[in-house]
Each structure stands twice: as structure tokens, then as C-alpha cells.
Structure 1
Amino acid sequence: MTSEPVGADPYLAARLRIAVGRLSRRIRLDTNDVPPLQLSTLTSIEEHGPLRLGELAVREAVTAPTMTRVLAALDERDLIVRSPDPDDARSTRVTLSEAGARVLREVRSQRTALLDARLARLTDEQRAAVLAALPALEALVTEE
């Protein structure tokens, strides 16, 4: 016999998963021409860079050949800068270029504007409910 955690509500969890997933997908589809893995890679580089290809592959949970293709596409668009790794002459480290940082700012701005437009469609009461729910939603994404 399995015991459910106190307060577990599968119906709530399912509805929240669906709503958050759909909202996230809608925002992703309505913005930018940077594919999701490339965008995620740029974000990882911004947050943790400079990084080696292998480190990026682990962070993005992809194979090294996949990351090689991602970095080639980003390099082709001048969104990254490759530099020699001071600790390993056979490797390079990747950082964001100015253009890469600009793309991230633009994507974030576009996505915030799209979400703002969707929030504007809500009633005052619905927006207040979303605001009141933010601390709980933010708690869901923090690590234990």
C-alpha cells in the first residue's frame, strides 16, 4: 500500500501541469526564431559560462555530438565566442557574444510582453489571484 503525501491533490497537480505547459508552449511558439535547445544553451552559457562543450552537454542533457551541432549553429549566428581553454589546450570554452546577450534580452522582453498581454485579458480579480499565487508557484520551482 502506498501512502499519499499530506495535501497531495492529483486533480490540482494535473490541472496545474496542463495550464503551465500550455502557457509555456504558447509563449515559446509566439516568440523568436531561436530553437529551444539553442536558447536553453545560451541561457546556460550566460548563467554558468565560460563552459566547455562537454559541460554544456551535461547541463542540457544531450550528447556531445548534439551539443557540437548546437554550438555550430550558435557560432554561425555569432551568438557565442569560442576561446582556448587555459586548463586544456585541446579544448575551448564558450561564452556569450554581445549578439548572444542581446538575443537573450530580446527573447525575455518578447516573452514578458506576451505574458503581460495575456494577463491584461484577465479580470482584476483573476490578476489578483495570480499575484496571490506567485509565492506558492515560486516555491514549486525551488530545490528542496
Structure 2
Amino acid sequence: MAVHHETAEELVEEVFLFGRALKLAVGNSDSSLLPPALTGVLGMLSIHGECRQTELASLLCLSQSALSRQLSDLVEWGYITRTPDPDDRRAALVRVSDSGFEILERIKESRVARLSTMLGEWSEEQALAALESVRHLKDTFTDQARHASADYTLIAR
């Protein structure tokens, strides 16, 4: 059975507002460790692993120039390393350094502590139900985005 239009409309708004609320709740608590935008770049790179800057820009939906500035800061602070791509010496591979993994762990610990405090009156069952719902929503969005991207690639050929 399909989701009603009104339900989808409300869900769009709630998901948007949830994103804003999440930023307020846990995103700013660790900004003294690393600005949120750089935390996002470093986090995505830690999940994805070593890659070219163009690939990382695509994953983050950022322009090359915006990502380049962010990577420069992260390199300067020692949180990522750049090495020449052995397959194409004109390109570079970026990866998270040991210091980068350390700062990400500190940020994660800060966020988990803050969220744990905020959810202090929740039961474990409520938290697990929320986790399941958020994960299901994220997986649905990701699957649909991949489908749309694949369809666009086929059309572009």
C-alpha cells in the first residue's frame, strides 16, 4: 500500500527539521575540535577509505573547489594525507591519517555523550526502535538515490 501524499509531505518536513535539530543537538558540541564541514569530509573519507579527490567530492555532493579548500585545511592540520596516484601521477589519493582517526574518535565520543544525556529518559527499546526507523529511512533514501544516479548514467550514454 502506498504512502498517502499528506504523510509523505509531513515526512519531508519532519526529516528536514530532524536534520536541523540533529545539527543543533550534537553537531555544534564538538566544533571546538573541528568545524562541522571538515568533520563531515573527514568522516566520509574514514568510511569510504583512500580515494581520489574527485571521488570524494562526488560522495559528498561538493564542488571540487570547495572540497579542495577543505582538504587543504585537513592536510595542514595533519588529519589527512595526500599521495600521488600510482595509476595517474597527475592525480592524488587522499586518506585519513592516524591523527585524523584520533580526532574523529574524540568527536564521536563527544557526540555520543551528548546524545546519551539528551536521551536519558528514553528506554533502550525506544532508542532501538528509533534507530531501526532512521536506518530504514536512510537505506531507502540511499537505494533510491543510487537508482536515480544509475538511471541518469544510462540516459547520459
TM-score, with structure 1 as normaliser? 0.81
Residue of structure 1 equivalent to 2:30 = 31
**1:113-132 paired onto structure 2 within 5 Å:** 113-120=113-120, 122=121, 128-132=125-129
User: Could you tell me how far apart the structure 2 residues matched to 1:78 and 1:11 are?
Assistant: 43
How far residue 13 of structure 1 moved from its aligned partner, in angstroms, is 5.2
Aligned positions, number: 138
Name the stretch that deviates more: 32-41 or 92-101.
32-41
How far residue 69 of structure 1 moved from its aligned partner, in angstroms, is 0.7
CA 1:133–1:43 in structure 2 vs 1: closer, same or farther (change >3 Å)?
A: closer
* Alignment deviations for residues 58-103 of structure 1 (CA, whole Å, 9 cap, x no partner): 2222221211111110011000111111001111111111100001
**1:1-144 paired onto structure 2 within 5 Å:** 5-7=2-4, 9=7, 10-11=9-10, 14-15=13-14, 17-33=16-32, 34-120=34-120, 122=121, 128-142=125-139, 143-144=142-143
RMSD, matched Cα:
2.3
User: Could you tell me how far apart the structure 2 residues matched to 1:41 and 1:105 are?
Assistant: 14
User: Could you tell me how far apart the structure 2 residues matched to 1:40 and 1:80 are?
Assistant: 13
Decide which structure has greater helix share.
2
User: Could you tell me how far apart the structure 2 residues matched to 1:60 and 1:16 are?
Assistant: 19
CA 1:17–1:67 in structure 2 vs 1: closer, same or farther (change >3 Å)?
A: closer
TM-score, with structure 2 as normaliser? 0.75
List structure 1 runs of 4+ shifted beyond 6 angstroms.
Answer: none
User: Could you tell me how far apart the structure 2 residues matched to 1:51 and 1:123 are?
Assistant: 40
Q: Where does the alignment leave 5 or more consecutive residues of structure 2 unmatched?
A: 144-157
* Alignment deviations for residues 20-56 of structure 1 (CA, whole Å, 9 cap, x no partner): 5313332101113322221111122212221112222
